[in-house]
């Protein structure tokens, strides 16, 4: 039994996320976690809310709530929505947890002792109107690289270029909108990433199976221009993890907190501690996943994230772990995704453009969204959500291919035999050919899932469904029944077993429909198929089944038009 540690990029606390956020990290991570569990492997799947920094403070102020209260409320909302999409986290934590406070301060102390943190006097933007220093994300302006007029002071979300606030053209306060800004001197701590450049470069070179997107972004940051730069890890904020050196005060850093991008990745580790505490487990339970001196040397660690998060997870977080000098588990595979755009434009959390996760669940069950998003995952390039494509995919793949097969075979059996698997007949050439084809397709499907080729795995799964439909169309048991009831019984029996097989194989993609199919076909819970020939005889003559309710209703033109108008890309409130 293999052991898989799986983490998804942790979403910001500042509001409900859109479908692009979902498919860029959490959903493919869930697909992989569900598959590995189905294969009998041990999985720890972790995610959390990223609660510190400017987004939390700004969102709380807009909501008229204290920031701690706002974060607690939004964590509950995001956890509920995650359950709505059937995201199977073993724990959904919080970066504001006591575990993350202690661990972040611990790492800072280790890095300081290793000489990898330096104190730097720097000039920082001060807003006279707001009466405070403005952290990077509190400053907006025009990106000097691409001209985007709502770039933030740390990174342009349009071109992903890393920025400093002083790089922005026509900067303004994101709090008040004031342009009455001046530059004042302050002191901050910097992680000396540049001192670890060679270590990081060598480590990345060992990752020969990483997606090109991941390694190209990491290498660009390492080598382009002046190369990897030291990065500030503290900010002048009230909300966050207080700057301490382990358990000791840090002279000169009073009133400052750690920068969100320093503490947020550490939450992956801290989240395991939260999981252990929530389940009343001792420290050994989470350390065996994260400490190579405590048993994590046999763990395979996979991260999922959008491309804008890649630099922090391939450079900054690894620099923290390497620099600590401690035996922490480092990522083995980092699966990164491009962007999902929305109907001719961009999804944008900050501007409220596109369909968001709560809205999606209001109009359709989660499997509809899971199937479309995963089968159109933006792996090799950006992808685009359109309502026309969504309608076609749902109607053809889910309703016509899978749903119709299950409905057709169960209703036929009930009408001609009973709600029990019929006896009679033996496999012939069509059945042997089908089983051979299914076996080949399952092998390809498993290989795609193992390699995290999300789109290809969806194509292979659909191909398995289609094979069953083609078989039924070819042998036509409804016609065979008129002249050879025994052969029709055998064909029907195989059809019922195919439905059961489809239910099991579909569980990583569409868990609700999978559960309905499996429940209807047989009261037991079958494991992942080994030998397809054995699995396809698992339902034996006399076993009962039910005709399940309609698995997938087709999306009508009227519904599509209504949703196009309702979610037409205008800014949402």
Query: Phi and psi for 71 in degrees, rounded to 5?
Result: -65, -40
Per the CB < 8 A criterion, the answer to whether 105 and 245 are in contact is yes
Q: Where are the alpha helices (DSSP H) in 119-255?
A: 197-205, 212-223
Q: How many C-beta neighbours within 10 Å does residue 418 have?
A: 12
448 is in an annotated binding site: no
146 is in an annotated binding site: yes
CA atoms within 13 A on the CB side of 465: 23
Compute the distance between CA of residue 450 and CA of residue 431 in angstroms, rounded to an integer: 28
Please identify which residue in the block is written with the tokens 């979610």: 567
Please identify which residue in the block is written with the tokens 């933007």: 125
Q: Is 426 exposed, middle or buried (0-12, 13-18, 19+ CB in 10 A)?
A: exposed
Q: How many C-beta neighbours within 10 Å does residue 128 have?
A: 12
Compute the distance between CA of residue 50 and CA of residue 250 in angstroms, rounded to an integer: 24
Q: Where are the alpha helices (DSSP H) in 337-453?
A: 357-363, 366-375, 387-393, 404-416, 429-450
Compute the distance between CA of residue 289 and CA of residue 327 in angstroms, rounded to an integer: 12
Compute the distance between CA of residue 512 and CA of residue 354 in angstroms, rounded to an integer: 25
Compute the distance between CA of residue 1 and CA of residue 5 in angstroms, rounded to an integer: 13
Helix (DSSP H) and strand (DSSP E) numbers for the chain = 22, 19
Please identify which residue in the block is written with the tokens 């503290």: 234
156 is in an annotated binding site: yes
Binding residues: 143, 146, 156, 159, 349
Binding residues for Zn(2+): 143, 146, 156, 159
Binding residues for ATP: 349
């Amino acid at each position: 039994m293999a052991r898989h540690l799986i983490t998804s990029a942790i979403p910001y606390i500042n509001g409900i996320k859109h479908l692009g956020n979902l498919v860029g990290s959490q959903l493919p991570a869930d697909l992989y976690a569900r598959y590995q569990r189905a294969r009998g492997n041990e999985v720890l799947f972790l995610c959390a809310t990223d609660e510190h920094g400017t987004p939390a403070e700004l969102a709380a102020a807009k909501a008229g709530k204290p920031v701690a209260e706002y974060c607690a409320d939004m964590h509950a909302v995001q956890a509920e929505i995650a359950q709505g999409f059937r995201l199977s986290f073993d724990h959904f934590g919080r970066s504001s947890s006591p575990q993350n406070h202690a661990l972040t301060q611990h790492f800072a102390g280790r890095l300081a002792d290793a000489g990898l943190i330096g104190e730097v006097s720097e000039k920082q933007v001060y807003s006279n109107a707001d009466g405070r220093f403005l952290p990077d994300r509190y400053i907006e302006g025009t990106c000097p690289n691409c001209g985007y007029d709502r770039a933030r002071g740390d990174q342009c979300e349009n071109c992903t270029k890393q920025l400093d606030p002083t790089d922005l053209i026509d900067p303004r306060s994101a709090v008040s909108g004031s342009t009455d800004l001046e530059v004042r001197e302050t002191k901050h701590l910097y992680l000396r990433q540049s001192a670890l450049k060679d270590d990081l470069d060598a480590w990345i070179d060992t990752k020969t199976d990483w997606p090109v997107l991941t390694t190209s972004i990491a290498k660009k940051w390492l080598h382009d221009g002046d190369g990897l730069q030291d990065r500030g890890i503290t900010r002048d904020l009230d909300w966050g993890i207080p700057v301490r050196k382990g358990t000791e005060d840090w002279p000169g850093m009073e009133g400052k907190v750690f920068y969100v991008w320093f503490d947020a990745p550490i939450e992956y580790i801290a989240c395991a501690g939260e999981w252990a505490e929530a389940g009343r487990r001792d420290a050994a339970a989470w350390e065996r996943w994260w400490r190579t001196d405590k048993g994590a040397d046999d763990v395979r660690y996979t991260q999922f994230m959008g491309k804008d998060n890649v630099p922090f997870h391939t450079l900054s977080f690894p620099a923290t772990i390497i620099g600590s000098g401690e035996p922490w588990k480092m990522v083995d595979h980092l699966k990164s995704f491009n962007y999902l755009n929305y109907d001719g434009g961009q999804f944008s959390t900050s501007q409220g453009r596109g369909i968001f996760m709560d809205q999606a669940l209001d109009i359709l069950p989660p499997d509809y969204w899971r199937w479309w998003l995963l089968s159109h995952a933006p792996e090799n390039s950006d992808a685009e959500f359109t309502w026309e494509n969504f309608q076609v995919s749902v109607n053809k793949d889910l309703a016509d291919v899978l749903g119709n097969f299950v409905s057709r075979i169960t209703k036929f059996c009930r009408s001609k035999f009973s709600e029990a698997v019929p006896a009679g007949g033996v496999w012939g050439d069509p059945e042997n050919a089908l089983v051979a084809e299914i076996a080949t397709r399952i092998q390809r499907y498993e290989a795609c899932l193992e390699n995290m080729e999300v789109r290809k795995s969806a194509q292979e799964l659909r191909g398995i469904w289609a094979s069953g439909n083609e078989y039924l169309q070819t042998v036509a048991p409804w016609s065979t029944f008129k002249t050879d009831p025994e052969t029709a019984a055998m064909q029907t029996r195989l059809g019922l077993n195919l439905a059961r097989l489809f239910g099991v194989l579909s569980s990583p993609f569409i868990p609700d429909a999978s559960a309905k199919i499996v429940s209807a076909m047989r009261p037991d819970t079958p494991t992942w198929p080994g030998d397809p020939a054995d699995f396809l005889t698992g339902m034996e003559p006399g076993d009962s089944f039910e005709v399940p309710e309609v698995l997938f209703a087709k999306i009508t033109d009227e519904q599509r038009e209504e949703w196009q108008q309702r979610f037409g890309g205008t800014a949402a409130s």
